[in-house]
Amino acid sequence: MDNPIWGSDWPQVRGCWTLDPEVTFLNHGSFGATPRCVLELQSRLRAEMERQPVLFLDRALRARLDASLALVGRLLGTEAKKLAFVPNATYAINSVVKSLDFESGDELLILEHGYGAIIKTLQCVADRSGARLVRVPTVFPVESPDEIAAPVIAALNERTRFVVIDQITSPTAMIVPVKLIVDACRERGILCLVDGAHVPGMLPTDLDSVAPDFWTGNLHKWVCAPKGAAVLYVRPELRNRVAPVVTSHNFGMKFPEEFFWTGTDDPTAWICAGAAIEFMASLGWPRVHAHNHALVRYGRRAVAEMIGGTLPVPDSPEFYAAMAVIELPESVKFAGIEQAREFQGRLYEQFRIEVPMMVIDNRSFIRISAQVYNAPQDYERLGEALRAMIG
């Protein structure tokens, strides 16, 4: 592969993960894998917790969470005091939207290509309050970033109360120019939450300059922290308006204090988030970003050429970072998501390749991911397997 950043140390980097060597893992986007050194730290922390649970979960916990959160803040371009740990992006978004009051006639807005669980969350809140959920059609394929933002901005009106905007869409893996939408909402006095589930570790981020009202990002995806680590950012002016979905001891202490304790749980993933950031930073974040983009770019072209697929997203880092979709040829048109999942299962059973299939607007896609443990051969293997399956 003609790739100047594919240095000789990358095979060693792959060895830092505990992934099954029999499996070609191309789905970091759904569930990121965690490096061995971070898993070992988590095991040590759990052992320590079980030796003296009260010391670990009570007296010693907060300092450890603060230290980890400081590293998260630095990665995301904001101060730790504007952030709270949460178990995942779904929890963060539920906490925000269920803290706000809506009434009949209000509109909540999300992209048609928004994440399924979050669309359901907004639908649930809309149903309870009599508000209306508006799903804005996403232009796809697109030719310019403005084409993604324009329909959202055009849908804002005097009834719009709350907007959720994905920063990287899950089904199409596209980067959304969220700043344009955040600013348009601010001008109109509409609250806006940016769903950056895939952003930490995938895109360089400067939250303080984007200054969304609310923002969430998973740390258990591209930062490679253990499962159950994510953050919620709240603009300081709004800190009195948001509480966790679960009420516990810190009730009334406002954001972020209320989020620090929502009942007994295992906090080791949160403590390990800082260590995961340090591990990835030791590889060099710019190098990680460049590597992952170059690799997914190679992968999408290689797979598309091998199977006669097409690339609906322009070839530019403005549009995609470390995930990409390839439209499958006509011969593998899925009737629906069930058939897509069946095909995905067969690909895994026969070839031990883990990669998701997507059905978007009645069209069929495959979504590939590239993380530092992946190599060009992974995508070549995928192309060959698909060719064998679809003939």
Ligand X SMILES: Cc1ncc(COP(=O)(O)O)c(C=O)c1O
Residue 126 CB coordination number (10 Å): 19
Task: Name the residue nearer to ligand X (CB basis): 244 or 383.
Answer: 244
Type of residue found at 236:
P
Residue in 26, 84, 107, 195 binding ligand X, rule: CB under 6 A:
195
Task: Name the residue nearer to ligand X (CB basis): 68 or 170.
Answer: 170
Quote the CA–CA distance of 241 and 99 in Å, as a whole number: 7
C-alpha dist (Å) from residue 51 to 29, 44, 62 = 35, 11, 18
CA geometry: angle at 46 spanning 84 and 15, to 5°? 90
Distance in Å, CB of 167 to ligand X, minimum: 8
Examine residue 89 and tell whether it contacts ligand X (CB under 6 A): yes
**How big is the site for ligand X, counted in residues (CB under 6 A)?**
12
Question: What string marks each residue from 35 to 74 as x (binds ligand X by CB under 6 A) or -?
Answer: ----------------------------------------
Quote the CA–CA distance of 40 and 92 in Å, as a whole number: 27
Q: What is the separation, in whole angstroms, between the first and last Cα of the chain?
A: 26
Examine residue 293 and tell whether it contacts ligand X (CB under 6 A): no
Distance in Å, CB of 91 to ligand X, minimum: 7
Residue in 17, 56, 115, 222 binding ligand X, rule: CB under 6 A:
115
Task: Name the residue nearer to ligand X (CB basis): 267 or 383.
Answer: 267
Six token digits for residue 1: 């592969």
Six token digits for residue 314: 């322009």
Examine residue 90 and tell whether it contacts ligand X (CB under 6 A): yes
Q: What is the largest CA-CA distance in the chain?
A: 62
Examine residue 303 and tell whether it contacts ligand X (CB under 6 A): no
Examine residue 360 and tell whether it contacts ligand X (CB under 6 A): no
Mark the segment that binds ligand X (CB under 6 A) among 86-94, 262-270, 288-296, 346-354.
86-94
Question: What string marks each residue from 143 to 172 as x (binds ligand X by CB under 6 A) or -?
Answer: -----------------------x---x--
Task: Name the residue nearer to ligand X (CB basis): 170 or 364.
Answer: 170
Please give the full DSSP string across 355-382, using - where no structure is assigned: --EEEETTEEEEEEE--TT--HHHHHHH
Task: Name the residue nearer to ligand X (CB basis): 233 or 351.
Answer: 233
Please give the full DSSP string across 98-167, using - where no structure is assigned: HHS---TT-EEEEETTS-HHHHHHHHHHHHHHT-EEEEEPPPSS-SSHHHHHHHHHHH--TTEEEEEEES
Distance in Å, CB of 301 to ligand X, minimum: 24
Chain residues in the site for ligand X (CB under 6 A):
88-90, 115, 117-118, 166, 170, 195, 197-198, 218
